[in-house]
Structure 1
Amino acid sequence: MKQTKIIAAAVLAATAVPTVAIAVVPAMYEERVARAEEDRIIHSPIGGIQTKYWFNYRANVNETQKELTSDLRGASDIEDQRDAWEEYGSELRHERGTYVKAMAKKGYRVPSVYIEGM
């Protein structure tokens, strides 16, 4: 009887503590830069106009994301991971710039908000 209570108490204590430990690993510089570029992905067409430039941009972003996954899966060391993140961030930046320039030539600008005094 006493042994059953001890086992029950141990089970209760084990369930009260999270069973999965979360490792806090600082992100690499290249990953942080790429994540910042990822936050700048354009999610809706500039001016609400769906042109071939918009579809090309979305397809290229999706391809870049798939390539990152593949590169990270095949990375054998930290340097390979750094290269994958750096390439990902630069490709996102390039694709966004290409799309924005193409739309600017058509007369559409990326909307932006400026707040004075900040």
Structure 2
Amino acid sequence: MKKWTTLAVLLALPASVAAGGLRYSPPAGFETPEIRDRPIAGVYNQYWYNYRADILEAEKELGSDLRRATDREDRWDAWDEWVTEVVDADKDYTKVMRKKGYRTGRVTIGG
């Protein structure tokens, strides 16, 4: 049931949001983490959809926090919280995919 609920949420969202495009611009000098636009090993499973739902929830919360922000510090706190949630979602996703036997690609150049 959860898988279908997550899928319904993703289908109901605008395509730009579902594709991972942020609707908000981070403050100058703020580094944002990379958000996956494709699943690990090209496997679309419940873990991928849970990851995407987590990212969308983090963006929704970011928007809410930014609307309530009254000063620069509030905006930075909102972005910091968003980064934490995005990194946590990616960590959870890669961990479960590793347990399932899928590995993320890593390129090493040099020695």
CA shift at 1:48, angstroms?
1.0
CA shift at 1:57, angstroms?
0.1
- Asked if 1:100 is matched to 2:94, the reply is yes
Could you say which residue in structure 1 is the equivalent of 2:64? 70
Based on CA coordinates, which of the two structures has the bigger radius of gyration? 1
Q: Name stretches of at least 5 consecutive residues in structure 2 with no aligned partner.
A: 1-26
Identity score, percent: 47
CA shift at 1:107, angstroms?
0.6
CA shift at 1:108, angstroms?
0.4
Deviating above 2 A after TM superposition, structure 1's stretches of 4 or more consecutive aligned residues are: none
Q: In structure 1, what residue type is equivalent to 2:85? A: E
SS in structure 1 at match of 2:104: coil
Could you say which residue in structure 1 is the equivalent of 2:38? 44
CA shift at 1:46, angstroms?
0.6
TM-score by length of 1: 0.67
Q: In structure 1, what residue type is equivalent to 2:56? A: N
* Superposition RMSD in Å: 1.5
Could you say which residue in structure 2 is the equivalent of 1:110? 104
- Asked if 1:81 is matched to 2:69, the reply is no
Could you say which residue in structure 1 is the equivalent of 2:7? none
Q: Which has the higher contact order (CA 8 A, sep 6+)?
A: 1
Q: Name stretches of at least 5 consecutive residues in structure 1 with no aligned partner.
A: 1-25
Say how many residue pairs are matched: 85
Tell me how far apart the structure 1 counterparts of residues 104 and 35 of structure 2 sit (CA, whole Å): 12
